[in-house]
């Protein structure tokens, strides 16, 4: 996963640190160091747990760098994962159109990524692509399906 992550995220520096917040999965503590310098990271974990049926308050901890405890949160990640599971049936285990091939799953994810960034409007009536100045207007499915593609070689 991180080999693709590196393609989309600007290489961090000492002044412009990469901020990452995750759950208590300790795999991130080792994999991040394989790709990024420890001094260029600002990484914190939010660990949620239950005691029987009772939810215990989450524990926030700093792993690398000096993130603010209030900033260490995974709610946006969990919300987006829920949206992915709800809208892309092939990544849900009990689906009739489960991903039989990695190629098909990648295509479904790329299509959803385009939809989310260029077609789906937020409450402010703009898309993430417009907010990031990657587009000037909202796309439609019709515009996408009838777009003329050009390839650079």
Q: Has residue 85 been placed in a domain?
A: no
- Planar angle of CA 95, 111, 82, nearest 5 degrees: 50
Cβ atoms within 10 Å of 126's Cβ, excluding its own:
13
So what's the pLDDT on residue 114?
Answer: 92
Q: Has residue 41 been placed in a domain?
A: yes
Which tokens sit at 118?
A: 């260029």
Q: Has residue 142 been placed in a domain?
A: no
Per-residue pLDDT of the chain (153 residues; tens, 9 = 90+): 566 777 777 788 899 999 999 988 888 888 889 889 999 999 999 988 888 888 888 889 999 999 998 888 888 888 888 888 888 777 666 556 666 677 888 888 889 999 999 999 988 889 999 998 889 999 999 998 888 877 776
Q: Has residue 36 been placed in a domain?
A: yes
Question: Cα-Cα-Cα-Cα dihedral of 58, 63, 67, 72, to 10°?
Answer: -30
Task: Write down the pTM of the prediction.
Answer: 0.65
So what's the pLDDT on residue 102?
Answer: 79
Count of domains observed in the chain: 1
Q: In the sheet that 18-22 helps form, which strands lie side by side, from edge to edge?
A: 18-22, 41-51, 54-64
Q: Has residue 138 been placed in a domain?
A: no
Cβ atoms within 10 Å of 45's Cβ, excluding its own:
22
Q: Has residue 23 been placed in a domain?
A: yes
Q: What is the domain extent for residue 63?
A: 1-69
Cβ atoms within 10 Å of 35's Cβ, excluding its own:
15
Q: Has residue 28 been placed in a domain?
A: yes
Q: Has residue 57 been placed in a domain?
A: yes
């Amino acid at each position: 996963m991180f080999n693709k992550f590196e393609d989309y995220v600007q290489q961090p520096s000492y002044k412009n640190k990469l901020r990452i917040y995750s759950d208590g999965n300790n795999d991130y503590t080792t994999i991040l160091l394989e790709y990024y310098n420890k001094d260029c990271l600002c990484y914190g974990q939010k660990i949620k747990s239950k005691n029987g049926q009772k939810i215990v308050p989450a524990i926030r901890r700093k792993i690398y760098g000096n993130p603010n405890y209030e900033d260490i949160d995974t709610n946006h990640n969990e919300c987006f994962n829920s949206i992915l599971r709800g809208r892309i049936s092939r990544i849900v285990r009990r689906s009739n159109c489960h991903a039989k091939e990695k190629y098909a799953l990648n295509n479904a994810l790329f299509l959803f990524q385009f939809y989310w960034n260029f077609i789906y409007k937020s409450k402010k009536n703009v898309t993430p692509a417009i907010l990031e100045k990657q587009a000037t207007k909202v796309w439609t499915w019709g515009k996408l399906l009838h777009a003329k593609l050009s390839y650079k070689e």
